[in-house]
Chain A
Amino acid sequence: MEQAKKMNMKEKYNTMTGDLAWDFSYKTEAEIFPLSDFEGIKIEDWSKWQDPFRLTMDAYWKYQGEKERKLYAVIDAFGQNNAHLGVTDARYINALKIFLTAVTPLEYGAHRGFAMTGRAFPGVGAQVASQMQSIDELRHAQTQLHTISQYNKYFDGLHDPFHMFDRTWYLSVPKSYFEDALSAGPFEFITAISFSFEYVLTNLLFMPFMSGAAYNGDMATVNFGFSAQSDESRHMTLGLEVIKFMLEQHPDNLPIIQRWIDKYFWRGYRLLGIVGMMMDYMLPKRVMSWKEGWEMYFEQNGKMLFDDLARYGITMPKFWEQSVEEKEHLTHQLWLTFYSYGHAAAFHTWIPDDSELDWLSEKYPVTFDKYYRPRLVYLREQEKAGKRFYNPSLPQLCQTCQIPMVYTDPKNPTKRVYRETTYKGDKFHFCSDACKEIFEHEPEKMSQAWLPPHQIFQGNCGGATIPDVLKYYHFTENDGGEFLHSRDNANWNMWKGLTPDEEAA
């Protein structure tokens, strides 16, 4: 018998993926993949999709199973050893509160979004890549829940994350960001999440939380971070492949993709402001400042990426210069906002101590002492005098990013930015030119946003008073407000004073 020619790895992988599909003849491709062309993206040949990993399911199970075994061994040990007492101090837990209520639901959203693209794309390569990322994202949501479950038993603010995500005013920032992508078509979703978020911005989400955990003695979260790292690098690679694939398929795709990159860069950047605030104010042991992070991960690495994409005609995301101009102001303004609305948040706020204020002065030499330190010191004095400041009003939100309209013009830092536009007779407000432009490009969609203060005034959030609304959010009296007066702080001090075998009340 004549020995047949053996296939190479690439051909063999194709038999495991691309070759599973066939030429439909009883239904049309448009009937089976009805969502593949309404966005205007043109794909001439799906077989040109190159999978960078060539990961078959048996190999996937083998690697992932191994990682899960290790991860859960650490989580088990963490629970058995009261390892939540090993963190720097109880203020750190507030970073986890933001993570669980604002980020974990996004992991879940990514799981569902990639299931949608995994069904919507007509090419098997893109389907399989999407589906693997979908199940990875489920992994991340679930391992985060299992990791933080231990903290939930001992600290406030973590007890009802998904109920809060669907309702709470500041959580509408991540929720609307992700729903913007989920309610778009498959190509926009994958550009938004795989490229703009995973590739361009993920380092600024992942690094601060996971390094923050490492610096602050949170071994459970670090363990999760390490375990997710190889998934993340797969996802980042996919993000770049997706963009290149779409750009190589047809020249008409370029302006569509550029606009999506512009939009999700800006929305992602606005979302990351909350992470920046966490980096600068909430970690008892700081990793790096928001400004340093933005310089390293966006201004340097991001710039290199976009230089690399220049040959496809892709340019730096519109308004990126604005993000750089704001970097000395962003986190201070946001922290002051959350401090003022601390009674309506599910995490605690506080004024940094003197050494921490000094750190901020050093990291933000141009702005901190001039604009922000005096206000923080004043607020601290007020608190000491028994007059902890809370803002009893409801904030006006930006229609697009849904962050309160608190950002100032970097060229004139005492003047807030107000932009507005009129659509179908209604006036809409924006925190920036970028947010306004995003709205004006898709006014029908963006005007639908479920803005929490509007909803409260319309009576859709449990009632007309703050306590009614907090009840609707499922916040307890222990969840928010000043850290110094919190149950977390009181318990922490009590636990740290305990000796082994002493029973706490």
Chain B
Amino acid sequence: MQVDIKSLSIKPLRNTFDQVARFTGNDKSASRYLEATIGVQPEINFHYQPLWSKNRSIYDKDNTVIVMNDWYRLLDPRQYYYGAWTITRSKQQDAAERNFSFVEKRNMLTTLPADLREKIINVFVPIRHMEYAANLNNTYMSAYGYGVSITQAASMCAMDRLGIAQYITRIGLMLDGNSGDALKTSKAAWQNNPAWQPMRQLTENMLTTKDWFELFVAQNLVLDGLMYPLMYQSFSDLTSASGQTSFVMMTEFMSEWYEEHVRWVDSVIKVAAAESESNNVQIGKWLQKWRTEILQVLQPLAQEALGGAAQVSLDAAVAQLSARTTKSGVN
């Protein structure tokens, strides 16, 4: 038997907001992502010249040399608006929580060989400082970028990086039973160890980069594109090869996050590079510049982390990055 529920059927006057209809070219019902994103940022008729800039508006396309006819085209393939993003992350943090308590309950870190433990403290845990810089860099893109499509994704990325810095901090705390000694050692390495100094210098340089799109290329495409494979693939493999699964478990959030991050970053690069020859050339120049510098500063770190496997791992990371940028159409 069929049950009919009586309901009112009222024809709507319109199916979505005008700014969304202009963007998609029709008045069809739009996704939550598009309604939350398209056209939300003010664009014209600003009242006051910012006291913090002599020649820029509060929202200004000229904050980068990249030119887009419509900045909203830099859509996020994950379709993250706040709700979709935070619900996804809340599930992932649930999984991460289970992993952390699994490692803790079984005292898995006490069986860690001393040399591996030292390596994690000196070469992996200092990355929390780099993630903090990545947080500031993405916050910068979110503050001075143009169009909600990219600025909201940068804002979420910034919070993701803070979360990752905090997960790494937790690993550091677990390594010494919450005394904070491992974090002190690791921070001292970041601050003074010769292998870290070129990277710290590069990180401080990035924090003074003014063009937000260049910063996007430097941080999210190149630095992440080389560092994440090196640590969460090569170094991670090395730890599991010695029979230790704790590191892999405690960094699962980061590995999963990175796969998703790559989708967003590649899509932005692809659309921006396809917009014009000059964008493509500019992105290519930045790519070249930052890849050269970052590869150089990664050498001593790869050496410390991976020893004999350093060069192979770096080559593999470079190959991954090249494959991605080729696929994104960067010349």
**A505 close to B (CB within 8 Å):** yes
**B26 close to A (CB within 8 Å):** no
Q: Select A27's contact among B83, B143, B205, beta carbons within 8 Å.
A: B205
A131 to chain B, nearest CB (A): 6
CB nearest neighbor in B for A63: B90
With a cutoff of 8 Å between Cβ atoms, the chain B residues found around residue A58 in the complex are 93, 96-97, 163, 166-167
Q: Is the CB of B162 within 8 A of A183?
A: no
Give the interface segment out of A3-11, A253-261, A278-286, A386-394. Answer: A3-11
Q: Is the CB of B169 within 8 A of A138?
A: no
Give the complex CA separation of A217 and B36 in angstroms: 25
Q: Is the CB of A65 within 8 A of B86?
A: yes
B324 to chain A, nearest CB (A): 27
**B241 close to A (CB within 8 Å):** no
Given contacts A62-B93, A162-B42, A22 and B190 within 8 Å (CB-CB): yes
Give the complex CA separation of A109 and B92 in angstroms: 29
**B129 close to A (CB within 8 Å):** yes
**B44 close to A (CB within 8 Å):** yes
**B181 close to A (CB within 8 Å):** yes
With a cutoff of 8 Å between Cβ atoms, the chain A residues found around residue B36 in the complex are 141-142, 145-146
Give the interface segment out of B61-69, B148-156, B216-224, B259-267. Answer: B148-156
With a cutoff of 8 Å between Cβ atoms, the chain A residues found around residue B176 in the complex are 4
The 8 A CB mask of A255-287 against B (1 = contact, 0 = none) is 000000000000000000000000000000000
Query: From DSSP, what is the main secondary structure of chain B's interface residues?
Result: helix
CB nearest neighbor in B for A451: B47
Query: From DSSP, what is the main secondary structure of chain A's interface residues?
Result: helix
**A116 close to B (CB within 8 Å):** yes
A494 to chain B, nearest CB (A): 9
Q: Select A138's contact among B144, B155, B166, beta carbons within 8 Å.
A: B155
Interface-central residue, A62, A109, A448, by most chain B CB under 10 Å: A62
**B17 close to A (CB within 8 Å):** yes
Given contacts A23-B191, A159-B14, A450 and B45 within 8 Å (CB-CB): yes
Give the complex CA separation of A418 and B66 in angstroms: 48
With a cutoff of 8 Å between Cβ atoms, the chain A residues found around residue B136 in the complex are 119, 127
Q: Is the CB of B90 within 8 A of A62?
A: yes
With a cutoff of 8 Å between Cβ atoms, the chain A residues found around residue B82 in the complex are 68, 135, 138-139, 142-143
Q: Is the CB of A162 within 8 A of B7?
A: no
Q: Select B19's contact among A154, A163, A450, A502, beta carbons within 8 Å.
A: A163
**B204 close to A (CB within 8 Å):** yes
Interface residues of A in 89-146 (CB under 8 A from B): 105, 108-109, 111-112, 115-116, 118-119, 124, 127-128, 131-132, 134-135, 138-139, 141-143, 145-146
Give the complex CA separation of A309 and B81 in angstroms: 39
Give the complex CA separation of A166 and B40 in angstroms: 10
Q: Is the CB of A149 within 8 A of B47?
A: no
CB nearest neighbor in B for A494: B10
**A385 close to B (CB within 8 Å):** no
Given contacts A127-B136, A134-B155, A38 and B51 within 8 Å (CB-CB): yes
With a cutoff of 8 Å between Cβ atoms, the chain A residues found around residue B11 in the complex are 503-505
A486 to chain B, nearest CB (A): 12
The 8 A CB mask of A465-505 against B (1 = contact, 0 = none) is 00000000010000000000000000100010010111111
**B139 close to A (CB within 8 Å):** yes
Q: Is the CB of B156 within 8 A of A135?
A: yes
Q: Select A449's contact among B17, B47, B200, B201, beta carbons within 8 Å.
A: B47
**A369 close to B (CB within 8 Å):** no
Q: Select A112's contact among B12, B35, B143, beta carbons within 8 Å.
A: B143
Given contacts A4-B181, A6-B178, A64 and B86 within 8 Å (CB-CB): yes
Give the complex CA separation of A15 and B173 in angstroms: 9
With a cutoff of 8 Å between Cβ atoms, the chain A residues found around residue B6 in the complex are 500-501
Interface residues of A in 59-87 (CB under 8 A from B): 60-62, 64-66, 68-69, 71-72, 81-82, 85
The 8 A CB mask of B32-58 against A (1 = contact, 0 = none) is 100110011111111111111000001
Give the complex CA separation of A64 and B45 in angstroms: 35
Q: Residues of B within 8 Å of A, CB-based: how many?
A: 89
**B299 close to A (CB within 8 Å):** no
Q: Is the CB of A146 within 8 A of B86?
A: no
Interface residues of B in 1-30 (CB under 8 A from A): 6-19
The 8 A CB mask of B185-229 against A (1 = contact, 0 = none) is 001001100000000110011011000000000000000000000
Give the complex CA separation of A11 and B204 in angstroms: 26
**B87 close to A (CB within 8 Å):** yes
**A356 close to B (CB within 8 Å):** no
**A161 close to B (CB within 8 Å):** yes
Q: Is the CB of A146 within 8 A of B32?
A: yes
Give the interface segment out of A174-182, A201-209, A427-435. Answer: A174-182
Given contacts A124-B132, A159-B18, A154 and B13 within 8 Å (CB-CB): yes
**B140 close to A (CB within 8 Å):** yes
Interface residues of B in 84-134 (CB under 8 A from A): 86-87, 89-94, 96-97, 128-129, 131-132
Range of interface residues on A (Cβ < 8 Å): 35 or more
Given contacts A26-B205, A445-B48, A141 and B179 within 8 Å (CB-CB): no
Q: Is the CB of B35 within 8 A of A146?
A: yes
Given contacts A21-B132, A68-B82, A145-B36, A182 and B90 within 8 Å (CB-CB): no
Q: Is the CB of B159 within 8 A of A131?
A: yes
**B177 close to A (CB within 8 Å):** yes
Give the complex CA separation of A154 and B13 in angstroms: 5
Interface residues of B in 238-270 (CB under 8 A from A): none
CB nearest neighbor in A for B191: A22
Given contacts A7-B178, A500-B6, A12 and B96 within 8 Å (CB-CB): no
Q: Select B142's contact among A124, A134, A154, A501, beta carbons within 8 Å.
A: A134
With a cutoff of 8 Å between Cβ atoms, the chain A residues found around residue B231 in the complex are none
**B71 close to A (CB within 8 Å):** no
**B180 close to A (CB within 8 Å):** yes
Give the complex CA separation of A16 and B15 in angstroms: 45
**A152 close to B (CB within 8 Å):** yes
With a cutoff of 8 Å between Cβ atoms, the chain B residues found around residue A145 in the complex are 17, 35-36, 40
* 26 residue pairs bridging A and B, Cβ less than 8 Å apart: A5-B179, A6-B177, A15-B172, A16-B166, A27-B208, A32-B204, A58-B96, A61-B86, A62-B94, A65-B87, A66-B90, A112-B151, A115-B142, A115-B143, A116-B143, A118-B139, A119-B143, A135-B82, A138-B82, A149-B16, A149-B35, A153-B14, A155-B13, A156-B13, A176-B47, A183-B58
What residues of chain B have their CB less than 8 Å away from a CB belonging to chain A?
6-19, 32, 35-36, 39-52, 58-59, 81-83, 86-87, 89-94, 96-97, 128-129, 131-132, 135-136, 139-140, 142-144, 148, 151-152, 155-156, 158-160, 162-163, 165-167, 169, 172-173, 176-181, 183, 187, 190-191, 200-201, 204-205, 207-208
What residues of chain A have their CB less than 8 Å away from a CB belonging to chain B?
3-7, 11-12, 15-16, 19-27, 31-32, 35, 38-39, 56-58, 60-62, 64-66, 68-69, 71-72, 81-82, 85, 105, 108-109, 111-112, 115-116, 118-119, 124, 127-128, 131-132, 134-135, 138-139, 141-143, 145-146, 149, 152-156, 158-163, 165-167, 172, 175-176, 179-180, 182-185, 445-446, 448-450, 455, 474, 491, 495, 498, 500-505
4 smallest A-B Cβ distances: which pairs?
Answer: A65-B90, A4-B179, A57-B163, A500-B6
